[in-house]
Amino acid sequence: MAFKFPKTFFWGAASSATQAEGRQLGDGKGENIWDYASKEFNYRFYEGVTTEQTSLFYQDYHADIEKMQAISFNSFRTSISWSRLIPEGTGAVNPKAVTFYNEMIDDMLARGIEPFINLYHFDMPLVLQEKGGFENREVIEAYKEYAKTCFELFGDRVKYWFTFNEPMIPAEAGYLHDRHYPYVVDFKRAATVLHHIILAHCEAVKSYRELELEGKIGIIMDVIPVYPRSQNPADLYAAEMADLFYTKSVNDAILKGKYPEKLKEVLIEYDQLPEVKNADIALIAATKIDLLGINYYRPRRVKAKECVPNPQGVFSPEWFFDEYIMPGRRMNTSRGIEIYPKGIYDIAKKIQTEYNNIDWFVSENGIGIEGEEAFIENGMVQDDYRIEFLKEHLRYLHQAMAEGSNCLGYHMWTFVDCWSWGNAYKNRYGFYRMDLKTGEKTVKKSGLWFKELIEQHGFD
């Protein structure tokens, strides 16, 4: 077999509470910002699909976990819904949520599927967002309480914990680029949110250590490798700044225990530095994780700025670089993003050389296709494009592992077609197809290929 992976390798998929469970009425769940935004700002969501129309995991979880077992998953990553477990964000725990998550975890373990549990996947409880969300330091304490509650309730069985999925996104998409609620456009507020998320991460790790549980804790990063248009110094500077703002600002804090000095210098120069206390710096420096998740979908190609930014405009990282549209790039036209499998190798090497070769796994990677029903033959989606996408990325991952990268697993996004932020069901990602009218879930050709891959520990 040409591409052999260890027998201990984790194979599976990833999902999130809001995107899979959705908003269920009458079970004690509190609203989160997506429940609210998909109703009150419905025009921002593809075909107006709200969180009430998700992939029905909350109702179907026993059958869904059986379907995971049917294609030989040995692991699955999802999140706990903060507003389901603690409807007011702090205080009383919802007993129906405890029952649901206990049964979900127990069922996974009974079927040989290791639960990888993430605590926060963009889903701030609405009552806490009304207090400012992660702009407000009180919410750091609320998150710490929530994390400790999860560890105490489920930590006897869950051995792999993650504090946040893509910590950059709530700050960047919610407070700078107007994609996620609360739809703010203000860099300094975005920087404050990101700093407080990092502090919340640190507090959760600290709580986990204090409980002395037998498991590992980490965080899941959205890493977009940066490539300059050329080796011209101006293009190299553009790439350096893009990487500084969108990768090193988080990665260095989490994995090196400190913010990059250059980032601090730039933010001071432009009067964008958020409040950072001495105790914050000490907490960040003292916090170490065990395991890193990496979400990879696309590269970022940049070039030197062609126009001077408007000094009266909102400060943004894009003041320092422009997007470079590389001739001949290969595109997923459904998403409008470049497909670049070698990026996963480059990320692996960066972790190996710059971040002490920490244990990590691919926590998300996948391809979303619009109009996938056009590929249905004899009742099954013939998604050969997804199989080829997986093969290409796994070949590069295999190469990085052969060169010493400590990658422990691969999770595709996602198990079954799910509701996506803003795009709803426009693009389909799953190993199983979801019929939106009937709720029926049927395996795609890629799901059967993935089953064979897992059972053979590799592919030709």
Which single residue is written with the structure tokens 């109703």?
Answer: 39
In the residue annotation, 166 being an active-site residue is answered as yes
Residue 39: count of CB within 10 angstroms of its CB:
15
Task: Give the active site residue among 21, 135, 166, 372.
Answer: 166
Task: Give the active site residue among 135, 203, 364, 372.
Answer: 364
Cis-peptide into 414, omega within 30 deg: yes
Handedness of CA 376, 380, 384, 388 (dihedral sign): positive
Active centre residues (catalytic): 166, 364
